Chain A
């Protein structure tokens, strides 16, 4: 993280009283041992991006392999390891921590007007647990890899000779990293909001992070217990999951999805929070239906605990249980639909900047709508029986995880990049990459919906010839995605060394994070902020004809209190 420093040094805000958090101390240990939520957020950002790149390369290998029906690249066993590692990297190392731990860490205290999170040491511990978990994952790959799929279904995961134990340990450790972050954010939101900032004066990103954190703290321990039981089963054959010893393999699925379904919302809720902020700022308009969006985050979090059985419609559950799970699954779709309509209504009648973050956000809304609508197919019992474990499911969850969560992550990165580093990327290239990614996503996954409907099962190293054309189109789409992401990585890194200086308030945001100097001070604000005005009140800004946004002195959200 030293490459950007020259650009930063030339970019002090005219009014700033203290050095920025990037300049206040120097050297490796000032980062490795930092308690600053912003630096920890940046370290997470580097980490999860590396995980995303590894997972992405594996995805490209998968798509290349499937170019021909017999499989082009690997033996079947190696293919199974590749898709398992793709899943593990993307789910456990990237998507779950991506938004909360990187953007959340950086932005949440700023939005609350706080100098840091409530428990800075726990925050650093969470990062190092993530690092240990990642190293254990890499260790598992070197010592024989894993071929169970990211779901570790028993009894296959008990029988296989691959490194399930060390991978299980990795996931156990990563779970604690996730719990630490969640716990920290809950305490921070309860105790550290700015003076005058009531719960309903919190930006929606904070609500989303709050709902996510509750899920992380309540659901992740179940994953820990499940992985532990799997390890006991592996070593001692205690007979919980293995039918050979009187166990029940379906019980594992219940345990696994009791965590992993809420985990889906651990992934998507922060994404919804990011989109709410980006859409509001770049439309220069308060969010439409603020309270409804806030409550829908909370209701999604609650209902998400009660729908895990919809992953198991074909496993032989009782008809009554299936009925209950299907009904609750339909319920969870309602708050989701409300959010989409609210974002669109926010853009309607706004002053809509077609900036790079906004293009990512619009792409998110488009793909998330596809993901949400196809989810209804899978919630309907009789239709799901046909679609279960086919490429339709693969395409559906990629629309939600990759096309939505990952795109929201990138929307957020583009949105807060000038705040994080004080520099701007080449926005023209950023817009090209946003369009490439939107096109690439649809070329990759629309054929997968089609072939799934036609009956192409997932996790197949080889396939029947009738599906080849769909696989080939999908592979071409994946290459377009690859180009889009490579371009993004290029211009973002380039901006750190040669980007233009960011303006103090690059996009004209009005939440407290935009009241900090750019980049923020070590303790964020020059003076302790007090939230006197309304939330999302864009009339507080004076916008010059060149687009320079400044807060009106007499009418500011953050009336500056005397420094205690």
Chain B
């Protein structure tokens, strides 16, 4: 606690939970103190001058005609220069550490898409969508190395408590690493704008002890099809667009979806039966619903067998039947 107080005495940053916080927070505090000092200095001199030398009668001449002072100008050029160079070197050092991944880091992968994260933990098959987890679990003190890919557009993985952020770029493998230092559950955000569900790409990071980690808490597959369907609903990211209340977020609400009638852009009518739902997932462009602007109707991404298995879709349908 004293260490935290030293690093971030003004309480501006989230609770620190990785080794990077030890680098970032003192520099942030240093800059805050410097900023407050210079801001106060400028404000005081500015306000003092404006009041002290205010024009009391319209023809008042200026008190001073000084327009140049070499000493003053050299001083106020050199002091910021020195502070800026210190800041540059300090920031660079912290960043170099973020680039060099320790050899003993555990290998994770994550695939991002509109709008979900699929984390594959060490030891899982990264090609099996059923073992993908929407939350990230890591063991305290053990470095984590995440290889990140995107299925569609730019995303960015951001964990404020760890002070890490890295863009996820389609066509490129990006690497992010960190070493968690505090047990707890932390927010995980998408920080690069990616469309309608951008603000819904927020999940949790769980830092657990070795014993809990060994039990693989991320693998938690329910026994019933309905239970599994509900899990896939969050894990595959359906949750970002299809709400379970009456309020539309992006796509059709799932509340009462089973056998609900509607109309397609082609003019045909449909009912939301198993075939319709399956086809909406596998080939969404083939049956856009009427009455919504194109930029919404076309927002549904296509899911292949490698991204969502047929069994998972069966589970989803079983679960949808229960949504009244």
A residues contacting B by CB (< 8 A) are 75-77, 80, 144-145, 147-149, 153, 155-156, 159-162, 243-244, 248-250, 283-290, 292, 313-316, 319, 322-323, 326-327, 330-331, 333-334, 337-338, 340-341, 344-345, 347-354, 358, 362, 365-366, 369-370, 373-374, 376-377, 379-386, 388-390, 450, 453-455, 457-464, 538, 543-547
5 A-B pairs whose Cβ atoms sit less than 8 Å apart in the complex: A243-B171, A244-B171, A344-B42, A459-B199, A543-B58
A145 cross-chain contacts in B, Cβ below 8 A: 295
For the A-B complex with A144-B295, A366-B42 known, give 4 more contacts whose Cβ atoms are closer than 8 Å.
Answer: A147-B195, A379-B87, A386-B164, A460-B198
Residues B38-81 near A (CB distance < 8 A): 38-39, 42-43, 45-46, 49-50, 53-55, 57-69, 72-73, 76-77, 80-81
In whole angstroms, what is the CA distance A379 to B166 when docked?
17
B154 interface neighbour in A153, A370, A382, Cβ under 8 Å: A153
Q: Tell me the residues in window 263-301 of chain B with beta carbons closer than 8 Å to chain A beta carbons.
A: 293-296, 298-299
- Whether B67 pairs with A80 at a CB distance below 8 angstroms is no
A383 touches B164 (CB 8 A): no
Distance of A334 Cα from B31 Cα, bound (Å): 16
Q: Which residues of the other chain, B, contact A344 by a CB distance below 8 angstroms?
A: 42, 45-46, 49
Contact of B81 among A162, A334, A459 (CB under 8 A): A334
Asked if B185 CB lies within 8 Å of chain A CBs, one says no
User: Which of A250, A337, A457, A464 is most buried by chain B, counting CB atoms within 10 A of its CB?
Assistant: A457
Instruction: Pick the contact of B172: A316, A337, A538 (CB < 8 A).
Output: A316
Contact check, B53 vs A327: say whether CB atoms are below 8 A apart. no
- Report yes or no: B169 in contact with A315, Cβ–Cβ below 8 A: yes
Minimum CB–CB distance from A327 to chain B (whole Å) comes to 6
Contacts from B to A (Cβ < 8 Å): 12-14, 20, 23-24, 27-28, 31, 34-35, 38-39, 42-43, 45-46, 49-50, 53-55, 57-69, 72-73, 76-77, 80-81, 84-85, 87-88, 90-99, 152-154, 156, 158, 160-161, 163-167, 169-172, 174, 187, 189-200, 202, 248-250, 293-296, 298-299
Structural contact, A334 and B77, CB atoms closer than 8 A: yes
Q: How many angstroms between the C-alpha atoms of A538 and B33 in the bound complex? A: 40
Cα distance A331–B84 in the bound complex, in angstroms = 8
Task: Please indicate the chain B residues that have their CB under 8 angstroms from the CB of A337 in the complex.
Answer: 76-77, 80
- Cα distance, A253 to B263, chains bound together (Å): 40
CA A410 to CA B276, docked complex, whole Å: 58
Inter-chain CA distance A453–B42, complex, in Å, is 24
How far apart are the CA atoms of A350 and B54 in the complex, in Å?
8
Nearest CB of chain A from residue B247's CB, rounded to whole Å: 8
| CB pair A385 B163 closer than 8 Å | yes
- CB-based nearest A residue for B80: A337
Enumerate chain B residues within 8 angstroms of A323, measured Cβ to Cβ.
92
B63 touches A350 (CB 8 A): yes
Q: Quick check: B199 and A319 within 8 Å, CB to CB?
A: no
Closest 3 CB pairs of A and B: A455-B160, A382-B94, A349-B64
Are B67 and A386 in touch, CB under 8 angstroms? no
Query: A283 contacts which chain B residues (CB < 8 A)?
Result: 53, 62
Is B58 within 8 A of A385, CB to CB?
no
What distance in Å separates the Cβ of A341 from its nearest Cβ neighbour in chain B?
5
A350 and B158 contacting across the interface, CB-CB below 8 Å: no
Contact A463 B160 (CB under 8 A): no
- Residue from B12, B13, B43, B202 in contact with A464 in the complex, judged by beta carbons closer than 8 Å: B202
Q: When the two chains form their complex, are residues B171 and A248 in contact, meaning their CB atoms are under 8 A apart?
A: yes
Q: Are B165 and A385 in contact (CB under 8 A)?
A: yes
A327 to B81 Cα, complex, angstroms: 11
- In angstroms, Cα B34 to Cα A385, docked, is 20
Q: Are B163 and A386 in contact (CB under 8 A)?
A: yes
Taken together as a complex, chains A and B put the C-alpha atoms of A224 and B123 apart, in Å, by 49
Q: Choose from B65, B170, B174 the contact partner of A243 (Cβ within 8 Å).
A: B170
- Bound CA–CA A442/B142 (angstroms): 42
Least Cβ–Cβ distance between B96 and chain A, in angstroms: 7
Interface centre among B54, B72, B161, B191 (most CB of A within 10 A): B191
> Considering the chains assembled together, what is the distance between the CA atoms of A244 and B171 in angstroms?
8
Instruction: Report the separation of the CA atoms of residues A383 and B156 in the bound assembly, to the nearest whole angstrom.
Output: 16
B50 and A347 contacting across the interface, CB-CB below 8 Å: yes
What is the distance, in angstroms, from B300's C-beta to the closest C-beta of chain A? Answer: 12
| Chain A hits for B90, CB < 8 A | 380, 382
Q: Known contacts A381-B94, A382-B23; decide if A349 and B59 are in contact (CB<8 Å).
A: no
Q: Determine if A144 and B77 form an interchain contact, defined as CB atoms under 8 angstroms apart.
A: no
Please report the C-alpha to C-alpha distance between residue A516 and residue B53 in the assembled complex, in whole angstroms.
29
Cβ contacts under 8 Å, A338 to chain B: 73, 76-77
Neighbouring A residues of B23 by C-beta, 8 Å: 382
CB distance B196 to A76 under 8 Å? yes
Which residue from A326, A351, A463, A546 sits with its C-beta under 8 Å from B92?
A: A326
Partner of B67, one of A155, A289, A319, A326: A289
- Chain A residue, CB-CB nearest to B295: A161
CA distance A160 to B194 in the complex (A): 10
Question: Which residue on A lies nearest to B61, using beta carbons?
Answer: A351
Q: Does B77 contact A386, Cβ atoms closer than 8 Å?
A: no
Contacts of A243 in B (CB 8 A): 169-172
